[in-house]
Amino acid sequence: MTLAFTEPPSPKPGQLLARGVCRMLAAHGFVTVEEMVPSRGLRVDVMALGPKGEIWIVECKSCRADFQGDAKWHGYLEWCDRYFWAVDQEFPTDLLPDTSGLIVADAYDGEILRMAPETKLAPARRKVMIQKFATHAARRLQALRDPGVAAIYGPDPA
Amino acid sequence: MTLAFTEPPSPKPGQLLARGVCRMLAAHGFVTVEEMVPSRGLRVDVMALGPKGEIWIVECKSCRADFQGDAKWHGYLEWCDRYFWAVDQEFPTDLLPDTSGLIVADAYDGEILRMAPETKLAPARRKVMIQKFATHAARRLQALRDPGVAAIYGPDPA
C-alpha cells in the first residue's frame, strides 16, 4: 500500500521577498495581502493598505530575468497611490525605473530605500480597492480557518 | 524528559455555530471575520461584508444562559446595517427580540429564518467599518501565513 501525500511546495524566492516586505510594512502600520487581483489579468505580489486607506503595490523581483520578463507592471500603476519594486541585495537596481519606489528586502525584513511618488487614486476607485482588499483577505482567512468552506469558494478565490 | 505541548483548544459551541453561519454567508456572497472589535469594549461573533459594502453583524448564542448573560448586544446595532441572532435548533427562540434577524445554524451550515430590518450606516461610518474589517482580516491572515509576524502585531490583533 502506498500512502500518497503532498508536501507544501517550498516558497519561491519572490515569495520569500514578499514575506519580508509584508513584515516591514506591518511595522509601518500597513496591512498586506499577497497575490491579489486588482483587475482581470493582473495579479500583484503585495498589496498594502495603510491606516488612512492608502493603497500601495509592491512587486517582488528575485532576479534580472524575473524583472525583464514582466511586461505587465505598467498596468499596476493605476491601481495604487504608490508603486514599489522589492529586490534583494544582489539585484542590479540600475535596471529598475527610478520613477518607482525601491525596497531592499530578504525573507525576514525590508527597508524602503526610495519612497515612491504619490499619484492618488480617485475616491471611487479607492473605495472599490479597499472592498476588494477586504474581500480577498477575508476569503483567504476563512479558507485557512475552515478548510470545509473551499467547496463554496472554489480552489483559488481572487 | 517531558515534552510540553499544547493542543489547540476544542471549538466552543458558539464558535461552531459561527463556522456554520460563515459558510452560509459565503454561499450568499458575503465574506466574514470572527471576533472583530468594531469599537472599544465590543467584540462581535461574526461580522459580514457584502458585495455592495453591506455590513451585517451576527451574534451566536449556544444556549439560554449565553443569551441572557449578554448585556452588550444593543451596542452592536449602531455598527451594522442588519443585526442577526444565530442559534441552534434547540434554542428557545421566543426569548429573542423579534426586531432582530434570526438564523438557525449548526457547525456546517445555516439558514436565515427571519431577515433583519435594515438601518443603513452613514457613509462615513461604513467607510470606517470596511477599513477595520479589511485590517482585521489581513492581520489575522498574515499571522496564519507567517507566524514570525506575531512579534510585530502582538498576540491578539483586533
Q: Could you tell me which chain B residue has the CA closest to the CA of A16? A: B146
Q: Residue B157: what pLDDT?
A: 46
Give residue A7's pLDDT. 67
Mean pLDDT of chain A: 91
Q: Is the pLDDT of residue A25 over 50?
A: yes
Calpha distance A131→B127 (Å, rounded): 10
Domain span at residue B69 reads: 13-146
**A8 in any annotated domain:** no
Cβ pair B139:A31 closer than 8 A: yes
Which residue would you say has higher pLDDT here, A135 or A158? A135
What are the φ and ψ backbone dihedral angles of B47, each rounded to 5 degrees?
A: -115, 130
**B83's grid cell:** 443585526
Interface test with A, best of B126, B128, B145 (most A CBs within 10 A): B145
pLDDT-derived band at A120, boundaries 50, 70, 90: very high
Per-residue pLDDT, B158: 45
**Average pLDDT, whole number, for chain B?**
91
CATH code where residue A83 lies? 3.40.1350
Question: Which amino acid is it at A95?
Answer: L
Residue B113 lies in a domain: yes
B78 to chain A nearest CA, in Å?
20
Grid cell in block for residue B96: 429573542
Q: How far apart are CA A78 and CA B48, in angstroms?
A: 29
Number of domains in chain B: 1
ipTM here: 0.90
Rg for chain A, CA atoms, rounded = 17
Question: Sorting pLDDT into bands at 50, 70 and 90, what band is A147?
Answer: confident
Task: Report the pLDDT value the prediction gives residue A157, as an integer from 0 to 100.
Answer: 46
Give the distance from residue A68's alpha carbon to the nearest chain B alpha carbon, in angstroms.
Answer: 29
**Could you tell me if residue B8 is inside a domain?**
no
For B:5-34, CB contacts with A below 8 A are 19, 22-23, 26-27, 31-34
* pLDDT value of position A43: 94
Nearest to B23 among A130, A131, A148 (CB): A148
Q: Are the beta carbons of A133 and B131 separated by less than 8 Å?
A: no
How distant is the Cα of A51 from the closest Cα of chain B, in angstroms?
8
- Residues 38 to 67 of B: which have CB under 8 A from any A CB? 49, 51, 53
* A156, part of any domain: no
Q: Are B36 and B132 spatial neighbours (Cβ–Cβ below 8 Å)?
A: yes
pLDDT at A60: 96
Q: What's the whole-model pTM score?
A: 0.91
Residue B3 in this model has a pLDDT that exceeds 70 = no
The per-residue pLDDT for B155 is 52
Q: A110 lies in a domain? A: yes
Give the DSSP letter string of B73-131.
GGGGGGG-SEEEEEE-TTS-GGGS-TTSEEEEE-SS-EEEEEPPPP-PPPHHHHHHHHH
Q: Say which residue the cell 459558510 belongs to.
A: B23
Q: What integer pLDDT is reported at residue B7 of this predicted model?
A: 67
How far apart (Å, rounded) are the C-alpha atoms in residues B82 and B84? 7
Q: What is the pLDDT of residue A150?
A: 75
B138–chain A Cβ distance below 8 A for any pair: yes
Residue B150 has pLDDT above 90, yes or no: no
Residue B140 has pLDDT above 90, yes or no: yes
* Residue A137 near residue B138, CB atoms below 8 Å: yes
pLDDT per position as a tens digit, B37-77: 999 999 999 999 999 999 999 999 999 998 988 888 999 99
pLDDT of B2 strictly over 80: no
Contacts of B135 in chain A (CB under 8 A): 31, 49, 51
**Substitution target from B15, B25, B30, B31 for chain A, most A beta carbons within 10 A:** B31
Q: For B89-128, how does the pLDDT look when each residue is reduced to its tens digit (9 = 90+)?
A: 999 999 999 999 999 999 999 999 999 999 999 999 999 9
Neighbours of B60 (CB within 10 A): 27
Residue A3 has a pLDDT of 57
A11: left (phi over 0), alpha (psi -120 to 50) or beta: beta
| B150 inside 8 A of chain A by CB | no
Would B87 be classed as within a structural domain? yes
The pLDDT value recorded for residue B4 is 60
